Amino acid sequence: MTWHAGAGSVERVSTSETPLVRVLDADGRFAPSAAAEQYLPLIEAISDAELEQFYRDMVSIRAIDVQATNLQRQGQLALWPPSRGQEAAQVGSARAARAQDTIFPSYREHVVTRIRGVDPLDIIKLMRGVSHGGWDPTDPKNGNTRLYTLVLGSQTLHAAGYAMGLNFDGRSGTGDPERDEAVIVYYGDGASSQGDVHEAMVFAASYQAPTVFFLQNNHWAISVPVETQSRVPLVERSAGYGIPSVRVDGNDVLASYAVSRVALDEARSGLGPRAIEAVTYRLGAHTTSDDPTKYRGSDEEESWALRDPIVRLRAFLENRGASGQFFADADAEAADAAEDLRARTVELGPPSPDKMFDFVYSDPHPLIDEQKAWRARYEASFEASSEAAGHSAGRN
C-alpha cells in the first residue's frame, strides 16, 4: 500500500505490511503473530516470577514518572521527559540484557536505568541541575549504564566504538556466554535521521561489533511525526547496512523481551550487530516544556491509550491467575517508590553555581578560575547592595 502526503504528493512505503513480532494482543490475549513463531520457545520459558517482575517494573516506573512530572510542575525540577507508554519496550529489552552488557541510554530510558541499578534520584539530580552528569557509569552499582545523552544519536557512536573495543580486547564472541559482552543502545525515531546513527551502523556492521541498536519508534520527534522521518519503515534503515533487523510491538513486553534476548545473545556470541525497531507511542508530552495539543489530536492519543502496555500485561497476568493481592502489592510498591523519590528530591536543595566551572577542564585553567571568581564577586555584590539598602532604610 502507498499513500500520499505533504507537498508534491510524495509516495511513501506503508509500514503496515512490515512483519511485526507480537505475542499479546491489545487485550492481553496470547495471540502470536507469524513473525513471533520463532520466539515462542523462549517466551514459554519465561517464569511466573519474571512475568511478575516485568509488571512491577512497569507500574513502578509509571508512578515515578508521574511523580517526577508533578515535581517539575511544582518547581522542583527544570525539566522532565516522560516515558509513559514506552514501559514495555524498555522493560523487555533491559531485562533481556545480562549483567556484563553495557547500556547506552538516550534521555527517556528511566526504567532501563532503574533496572540496571541507577537510583532514579540521580536522574532527578540531572533534571534539577544539581548534577551535570547524573551518575558514575564506572561505579559497579550502576550496572554498566552510561550517562543520559541529549545530543541526539551521539550515543550510538559511543556504543559502536565501545563494542568495537570489546572485540579488540577479546571480551566478546569468545564462545563463553557467561563472560562475553554486548552493548545495547537506545535512540528514537527522530534520532534515526541523524548522521551519527548512520555512521555508527556503518562501523558496527563493518567491524561486526556486538551492538544492539534499539530504536523506540514512539511516533513523534517533538512535533515531527514519524511519517516525515522516512519513506521506508525505520527497520529498513539498519537492514540497509547489512544489520539483521526486526520490528516488534513495543507495547508488548513479552515480544520486546524475546527479540532483545535473541539479538543480544547473537551479538554477544560474535555474530555482529543487530537492530530492533520497537513500535510504541509517547503517551505524554515530549518533555514538560512541550504541549502536544499543538500538533496532534486527542483521537490519536486515545487510540494509543487503548494499547497501554501496562493494561495489556495486567490482563494477561489476570488470565493466568495472578491474584488481586499481587496487583495490590505492586501498586503499593510503586506508590512507595514514587513517594520516596519525592521526599529525597525536596531535600536536595538548590544547585551550586560553582559546579558549572568545575568540570570544564580536568586540570585547573586560568580563564575558568577568573570566570569563577567574577561570578562570586557578582553574587556578593547583591548581598552588599541589599545591606546598603537595609542601612538606608534604617536611616529613614
Ligand X SMILES: Cc1ncc(C[n+]2csc(CCOP(=O)(O)OP(=O)(O)O)c2C)c(N)n1
Q: Is 282 a catalytic residue?
A: yes
The Cα 55–Cα 226 span in angstroms is 28
Near ligand X by CB under 6 A: residue from 96, 111, 191, 254? 191
Residue 380's binding partner, choosing from ligand X, Mg ion, none, with beta-carbon cut-off 5 to 8 A by kind? none
Query: Does the protein bind Mg ion through residue 292 (CB under 5 A)?
Result: no
Residue 134's binding partner, choosing from ligand X, Mg ion, none, with beta-carbon cut-off 5 to 8 A by kind? none
Residues 262-301 that bind ligand X (CB under 6 A): 282, 286
Identify the bridge partners of residue 258 per DSSP, sorted by sequence position: none
The Cα 215–Cα 104 span in angstroms is 12
Are the beta carbons of 165 and 159 closer than 8 angstroms? no
DSSP state of 351: P
Burial class (CB in 10 A: 0-12, 13-18, 19+), 129: middle
Mark the segment that binds ligand X (CB under 6 A) among 214-222, 234-242, 313-321, 375-383: 214-222
> At 362, phi and psi to the nearest 5?
-75, -30
> How many C-beta neighbours within 10 Å does residue 345 have?
21
> C-beta of 230: minimal distance to ligand X in Å?
11
Residues 199-258 that bind Mg ion (CB under 5 A): 218, 221
Q: Is 377 a catalytic residue?
A: no
In the complex with Mg ion, the residue whose CB is nearer, 102 or 229, is: 229
Q: Which of 114, 128, 282, 307 is catalytic?
A: 282
Residues 159-188 that bind ligand X (CB under 6 A): 188
Identify the bridge partners of residue 5 per DSSP, sorted by sequence position: 10
> C-beta of 303: minimal distance to Mg ion in Å?
17
Are the beta carbons of 211 and 163 closer than 8 angstroms? yes
In the complex with Mg ion, the residue whose CB is nearer, 157 or 278, is: 278
The Cα 229–Cα 71 span in angstroms is 33
The Cα 5–Cα 89 span in angstroms is 29
The Cα 4–Cα 111 span in angstroms is 37
Q: Which of 84, 146, 286, 307 is catalytic?
A: 286
Residue 186's binding partner, choosing from Mg ion, ligand X, none, with beta-carbon cut-off 5 to 8 A by kind? none
Near ligand X by CB under 6 A: residue from 189, 249, 265, 290? 189
Identify the bridge partners of residue 3 per DSSP, sorted by sequence position: 12
The Cα 72–Cα 67 span in angstroms is 9
Q: Is 219 a catalytic residue?
A: no
In 207-308, alpha helices (H): 226-229, 235-239, 253-266, 298-305
Query: Does the protein bind Mg ion through residue 188 (CB under 5 A)?
Result: yes
In the complex with ligand X, the residue whose CB is nearer, 189 or 265, is: 189
How many residues sit close enough to ligand X to count as binding (CB under 6 A)?
14
Query: Does the protein bind ligand X through residue 149 (CB under 6 A)?
Result: no
Query: Does the protein bind ligand X through residue 84 (CB under 6 A)?
Result: no
What residues line the site for ligand X (CB under 6 A)?
108, 150-152, 188-191, 218, 220-222, 282, 286
What residues line the site for Mg ion (CB under 5 A)?
188-189, 218, 221
- Residues marked active site are found at 282, 286, 295
